[in-house]
Chains A and B, each alone.
Chain A
Amino acid sequence: MSSQNQAEQDTQYAVEMRNVVHNYHKQDQSSVFVFSDWQLNIAEQVFLYGNSGSGKSTILNLLSGILQPESGSISLFGTDIVTLSHRARDRFRANNIGVVFQQFNLIEYLSVAQNIKLAAHFKTNKERTGAITTSEVKSESVQELLEQLKLDKSVMHRKVSELSVGQRQRVAILRAFANSPSLLLVDEPTSALDASARDAFMDMLLNTSESHATAIVFVSHDEALKGHFARHLAMNSLLSQDASGATQRDNNYAG
């Protein structure tokens, strides 16, 4: 796969956005997002904060390749995902990107083990990336993660819908890292947690990502989390002026 080769040749940045313009409605110029150019180093962790409608979700959708920008380039590990075909983009996402979301991370009716298997199922090049194959759900990396996240082994065979909120959060991290992603996208994972649970969660997430050398884009409206990160950016600073001269705050679509 060319994306893999390119990724090895040119790997100075985990994320590099250049001249990215996104528009939800082709006709309606009021919903245009114009992003400033920015980069994220390999294994670097960045905190993006902003209010609802500041474009946080938009940037996550763009980085994961779920949304296509109108123009510009989004390079992840040297691969411009904008120029990839739909199929290649889906595969790139399966192979390189993990997500920890408040809701959209686990399939409720599957067991934890099945969720992990499912993620591995869509991943290609298993040997090279070191991801677990469907038959190796109990592999060492998962065992390690279970220990690291202080989860009992029995949790693997329970349905997600039967887990407590705290367990779910940790399982979400487990799922994301079980696939050994190079880039992790995190969106408001702590909003359902109280302060102490939140700090415990943040520590677990960041420690795990450090030990896996995973780059993180962490998005939240909660500036209190800033302290956990060495680098933080306000969404406002990422968005440059658009054609009409105002910074966009689209309320309808962005989270």
Chain B
Amino acid sequence: MLAEVAWNSLLNRKKTVVLTFLSLLVSISVLISVEYIRVQAKDSFNRTVSGVDLIVGAPSGELNLLLYSVFRMGSSTNNIKYESLQVLEQDENVAWAIPISLGDSHKGFRVVGTNGNYFTHFKYGNARALSFDAGGTFDGLFETVLGAEVAKRLNYQLGDEIIIAHGIGRTSFQQHDKTPFTIVGILEPTGTPVDKTVHVSLEAIEAIHLAPGQLVSALNGRAPQLLEPKQITSVLLGLNSKFTTFGLQRQINNYEGDRLMAVLPGVAMARLWELMANVENMLRIIGFLVLIASLFGLATMLLATMNERKAEIAVLRILGASPATVMSLILIEALAISVLALISSTALVSVLAVTMEGWLSENYGLFLSRSVIGSELFVLAGLIIIATLIAAVIPAIEAYQRALHSQLSAK
């Protein structure tokens, strides 16, 4: 019955209630989005690479090396020699090595030059290996394997031919259009940057950078050495034993044949996440401040209407409602607005998440894998409800006191 009264009372003050509701809707949506994206980012971040013990590249920053070799963000300052890969492959501690050669693109998607090890040893998420949705790995020179996102977005099928451009921009003036690539494989979606990658062989990377004349002589077998890889960007290493990680890292850093740097992906990821954690905390704080502002608005709205509700409170008292009942009526009204705003925000953010999923993964590498409704949302909902009750206490106490002192009066 009280809920019915509270609901009708809210309907009676539609305009102020709707405005208060909207302000709460916006602030709760901001909070939910921040929390959702934070969790998703962490998730998507942590599942990007698994089982890689060392990343080797040209000396630059630890984070830079991680960003370009794993996240396909930014670019290397320098390359490393192909011989260094061969030296690493021969090391007794190394189980496998995946070469990565970056610098080209196809319609905004990064092209990675690598070898067959990539498809057998690269792991993501919970140590899951890559698998093919269609086709298989590349054998020939001008063959390519696409990530799931690339194929889906550009609507490519097996057997289609694509042109690879130099540079990583979406439009490139220097297209390697003499050398189209045939799609021989499409990977299953992984929710990692692999989905947005075009994979070719290391030799193919060399081939597309040759002058037309050189390419012809390389292809007809007169100068096959032209296709041999000379430089790569980085190497992902898997070791036989984790215990040798630090020893090998030191050896690589001190290697005299090339200028190399080895980083532990776990350490680099943790450091990168620390940087992001600051931003994330800022966003959360801002989110909560906006919520507090809206709740003050709610309290103000309830308090401001208290004068016009004098008569109503008197009626309730005369009917035998205790002051505590009048107080709970105000609390119910506040809760009703806030719970409605909470439900609407969840719906709103869910819809936004679905519609913006593609855009987020394309532009920010953020893969949304879970629904908005999760344990974080319940924690947040609990906090919002508690905060609402606290904010509503002032108008509720006001109502309580008015109820205590309300008197019958003809005027």
Contact = CB atoms under 8 A, between A and B. Distances in A.
Contact of B320 (A67, A91, A106, A191): A91
B319 A191 contact: no
A57 B322 contact: no
A21 interface: no
B411 interface: yes
A10 interface: no
B274 to A, nearest CB: 54
A118 B318 CA distance: 11
A82 B263 CA distance: 83
A37 interface: no
B8 A114 contact: yes
Interface string B304-327: 000000011011111111110100
A108 B318 contact: no
A188 B410 contact: yes
Contact of B318 (A104, A109, A134): A104
Interface in A69-124: 86-87, 90-95, 97, 99, 101-110, 114, 117-119, 121-123
A206 to B, nearest CB: 19
Given A66-B406, A121-B1, A104 B320 contact: no
A83 B2 CA distance: 28
A173 B411 CA distance: 19
A109 B320 contact: no
A107 B410 CA distance: 16
A121 B320 CA distance: 9
A254 to B, nearest CB: 9
A61 interface: yes
> Main SS of chain B's interface residues?
helix
Contacts of B410: 57, 101-103, 187-188, 191, 255
A44 B14 CA distance: 45
Given A90-B322, A107-B312, A134-B1, A187 B12 contact: no
Interface in A143-187: 185, 187
B411 A255 contact: yes
Interface residues of B, number: 27
B407 interface: yes
Interface in B1-33: 1-2, 4-5, 8-9, 11-12
A181 to B, nearest CB: 11
Interface in B353-411: 406-411
B32 to A, nearest CB: 32
Given A110-B8, A114-B5, A114-B8, A104 B311 contact: yes
A242 to B, nearest CB: 21
B407 A66 contact: yes
B8 A122 contact: no
A109 B408 contact: no
Given A188-B410, A255-B409, A104 B322 contact: no
Contact of B315 (A57, A104, A114): A104
B305 to A, nearest CB: 12
A17 interface: no
B319 A104 contact: no
A93 B318 CA distance: 7
Interface residues of A, number: 39
A54 interface: no
B318 to A, nearest CB: 5
A214 interface: no
- Of B2, B319, B322, the most chain A CB neighbours within 10 A belong to B319
Nearest to B1: A121
A19 B126 CA distance: 85
Nearest to B10: A109
B318 A114 contact: no
A186 B406 CA distance: 17
A102 B314 CA distance: 13
B1 A118 contact: yes
A43 interface: no
B262 to A, nearest CB: 73
Given A114-B5, A114-B8, A255-B409, A105 B315 contact: yes
Interface string A231-255: 0000000000000000000000001
Nearest to A110: B8
Contact of B407 (A67, A87, A94): A67
Contacts of A225: none
A66 B403 CA distance: 9
Interface in A203-227: none
Contacts of A117: 1, 4
B407 A118 contact: no
A121 B325 CA distance: 12
A90 B324 CA distance: 11
A255 B312 CA distance: 19
A103 B311 contact: yes
- Of B12, B315, B318, B411, the most chain A CB neighbours within 10 A belong to B318
A122 B319 contact: yes
Interface of B: 1-2, 4-5, 8-9, 11-12, 311-312, 314-323, 325, 406-411
Q: Which 8 A-B pairs have the closest CB atoms?
A: A94-B320, A109-B12, A122-B320, A121-B1, A188-B410, A104-B314, A90-B322, A93-B320
Interface of A: 57, 60-61, 64, 66-67, 86-87, 90-95, 97, 99, 101-110, 114, 117-119, 121-123, 134, 185, 187-188, 191, 255
Given A104-B311, A114-B5, A119-B319, 12 more contacts: A57-B407, A57-B410, A64-B408, A66-B406, A67-B407, A99-B318, A103-B410, A106-B315, A107-B316, A108-B311, A123-B320, A188-B410
27 contacts: A57-B407, A57-B409, A57-B410, A61-B407, A66-B408, A67-B407, A87-B322, A90-B320, A94-B320, A94-B321, A97-B318, A105-B318, A107-B312, A107-B315, A107-B316, A108-B12, A109-B9, A109-B11, A110-B8, A114-B4, A121-B1, A123-B320, A185-B408, A187-B410, A188-B410, A191-B410, A255-B410
